[in-house]
Amino acid sequence: MLTLVLEDDGTVVDSEAFFQSLPTNTPFMVLEKGDVWTPSKLVLPSFRQPRRSGIAKLSFDLYKLNPKDFLGCLTVKATLYEIYTLSYDIKCTRAKYFLMSLLRCFMYMAKLTGQVLLCASTYVLRYIGDEECSS
């Protein structure tokens, strides 16, 4: 089990209503079973160092357009120097159809392989039987 808490004060986010009431860009922390939230370094807010986010930030967002979708969609977002943003949306709406077609192809190949093995074993048995009769 995982527990979602606020990174600042360790408040447990246990309902959808509480989650929706939080402001955007609220930092969270995920705790595994048995983990306990502990406060980070004690720094007064007036002396807090500005957060450096680095050169680039890459995020992935996986979502479904329809609850019956098999895979859904994937959004990849890259932010450079907190100024430039590039995002790409990959829609996997036909993935279920593709996987079903692939499985049908594998089933056909397995059936064909079975037929070839049956025919080959029949010929082998006939060949062995003919040699025994001629001996």
**Which of the four pLDDT bands, split at 50, 70 and 90, describes residue 51?**
low
Please give the Cα distance from 106 to 96 (Å, whole number): 15
Please give the Cα distance from 47 to 7 (Å, whole number): 19
**What does the pLDDT average to over 105-124?**
93
Q: What is the CB neighbour count within 10 angstroms for residue 93?
A: 14
Are 74 and 62 a contacting pair, CB within 8 Å? yes
Answering whether pTM is above 0.75, one says no
**And the tokens for 82?**
């907190």
Strand partners, 76: 60, 88
H or E stretch covering 111: helix 95-134
**And the tokens for 27?**
């930092």
Please give the Cα distance from 32 to 97 (Å, whole number): 37
**Which of the four pLDDT bands, split at 50, 70 and 90, describes residue 108?**
very high
Mean pLDDT score across all residues of the chain: 80
Predicted confidence at residue 81, as pLDDT, reads 75
Predicted confidence at residue 115, as pLDDT, reads 94
Comparison of pLDDT for 105 and 96, the residue scoring more: 105
% pLDDT > 90, the chain = 15
Burial bucket for residue 3 (CB in 10 Å: 0-12, 13-18, 19+):
middle
